[in-house]
Amino acid sequence: MLRPGRMPRSGLRRPPGGATAIPRAIIDQVRDRTDIAEVVGRHVTLKRSGTSLVGLCPFHPEKTPSFNVVPHKGIFHCFGCGEGGDVFRFLMKIQGVSFNEAVKELAAAAGIQIEERDLTPAEEQRLRTRATLFDVCEEACRYYQGILKARPEGGPGRVYLQQRGLRPETWDRFRIGYAPDAWSGLVDHLHGRGFSEDLAIEAGLARRSDRRGSTYDLFRRRVMFPILDDRSRVVSFGGRIVELPDLPSPDAGQPKYLNGTDTEIYRKQRVLYGLSLARTEIQRQDRSILVEGYFDVVTLSQAGFQEVVATCGTALTFEQLEAIRRFSPRVVALFDSDEAGIKAAVRSMPLFAAAGVDALRLSLADAKDPDEHIRLHGADAFRALLNRTEPLTDTVIRFVAGRAGPTAVGRQRAVEELAPLVSRFPEVARASLVRRIADLLDLPERDVARRVARARSDARPGPQAPAAVDPPPPEAPLSPEVKDLLWLLIHHAEVVGPRIRTASPDLLDARLEVLDCLAGLLRGDSVAAVAEACPDESIRTILFEAASRTDYIPGDRAEVAVDQLFARLEADRIAMCLKRIRQEIDLGGPNRLDLVRERTTLNRRLAELRRLLPGIGR
Ligand SMILES: [Zn+2]
| DSSP assignment of 499-524 | HHHTS-HHHH---HHHHHHHHHHHHT
Identify the residue with better confidence: 425 or 448: 448
| Predicted pLDDT at 6 | 29
- CA–centroid distance, 92 to ligand 1, in Å, is 15
- Note whether 70 and 547 are within 8 A (CB): yes
pLDDT of 20 above 80: no
CA dist 567 and 574 (Å) reads 10
Under the phi-then-psi rule, with left for phi > 0, alpha for psi from -120 to 50, and beta for the rest, what region is 182?
beta
Confidence grade of residue 27 (pLDDT, cut at 50, 70, 90): confident
Q: How far is the CA of 428 from the centre of ligand 1 (A)?
A: 12
CA distances from 125 to 128, 132, 136, 198, 533 (A): 5, 10, 16, 15, 21
Q: Alpha-carbon torsion 322, 324, 329, 330, what sign? A: negative
Q: Which residues surround ligand 1, an ion (CB under 5 A)?
A: 57, 59-60, 78, 80-81
Average pLDDT, rounded, for the chain:
82
Q: Model confidence over 256-285: pLDDT tens digits?
A: 899 998 888 898 888 899 998 998 888 888
Work out the average pLDDT over 300-313: 91
Task: Tell me the whole-structure pTM to 2 decimals.
Answer: 0.56
**pLDDT of 148-184, one tens digit each?**
999 999 999 999 999 999 999 999 999 999 999 888 8
For residue 343, which of 382, 388, 399, 394 has the smallest C-alpha distance?
A: 399
* Residue 128: predicted pLDDT: 66
Answer yes or no: is pLDDT of 450 > 80: yes
State residue 131's pLDDT score. Answer: 67
In whole angstroms, give the CA distance from residue 542 to residue 544: 6
**Which residues lie closer than 8 Å to 58 by C-beta, 6 or more apart?**
43, 44, 67, 94
Partner residues linked to 206 by β-bridges: 217
Ligand 1 centroid to Cα of residue 90, in Å, is 12
- Whole-number Å distance, alpha carbon 81 to ligand 1 midpoint, is 4
The string of pLDDT tens digits covering residues 192-232 is 887 888 889 999 999 988 777 788 899 999 999 999 987 78
What's the CA-to-centroid distance between 77 and ligand 1, angstroms?
A: 8
Average pLDDT over residues 454-461: 68
- pLDDT one-digit tens code per residue, 463-521: 444 443 333 334 456 777 888 888 888 888 888 888 777 776 566 656 667 777 887 88
Phi, psi of 15, rounded to the nearest 5 degrees:
-70, 165
CA distance 178 to 163: 15
What spacing in Å lies between the alpha carbon of 83 and ligand 1's midpoint? 6
**Angle subtended by helix axes 512-523 and 493-501, to nearest 10:** 130
Could you tell me whether strands 47-49 and 52-55 are parallel, antiparallel, or unpaired per DSSP bridges? antiparallel
pLDDT in tens, 97-155: 888 889 999 998 888 887 766 667 776 666 666 668 889 999 999 999 999 999 999 99
Write out pLDDT tens, residues 358-381.
899 888 877 888 888 888 899 999
Closest CA to 277 of 233, 318, 329: 233
Helix, strand, or coil (residue 608): helix
Sorted by sequence, the CB contacts under 8 Å of residue 166 that are 6+ apart come out as 176, 298, 299, 302
| 468 CA to centre of ligand 1 in angstroms | 18
> How many angstroms is it from 58 CA to the middle of ligand 1?
7
Percent of the chain topping pLDDT 70? 88
Distance 532 CA to ligand 1 centre (A): 20
Q: How confident is the model at residue 459 (pLDDT cuts 50, 70, 90)?
A: low
Residues 377-398 pLDDT 10s: 999 999 998 888 888 888 888 8
490 Cα to the center of ligand 1, angstroms: 22
Instruction: Tell me how far the alpha carbon of residue 66 lies from the centroid of ligand 1, in angstroms.
Output: 7
Residue 90, pLDDT score: 93
- Tell me how far the alpha carbon of residue 313 lies from the centroid of ligand 1, in angstroms: 29
Q: What separation in angstroms does the CA of 105 have from each of 29, 74, 110, 114, 127?
A: 13, 17, 9, 10, 23
Contacts with 89 (C-beta within 8 Å, 6 or more apart), sequence order:
76, 102
Distance CA 550, CA 569 (A): 24
Are 103 and 87 within 8 A, CB to CB? no
Question: What is the rounded radius of gyration, in angstroms, for the C-alpha atoms of the chain?
Answer: 29
pLDDT for 220 equals 92
The Cβ of residue 261 has, within 10 Å, a number of other Cβ atoms equal to 11
Indicate the range of 1-15, 351-365, 547-561 predicted with least confidence.
1-15
Q: Rounded to the nearest whole angstrom, what is the distance from the C-alpha of residue 616 to the centroid of ligand 1? A: 38
104 C-alpha vs ligand 1 centroid, how far in Å? 26
pLDDT digits (tens, 9 = 90+) for 426-445: 777 788 889 888 888 888 88
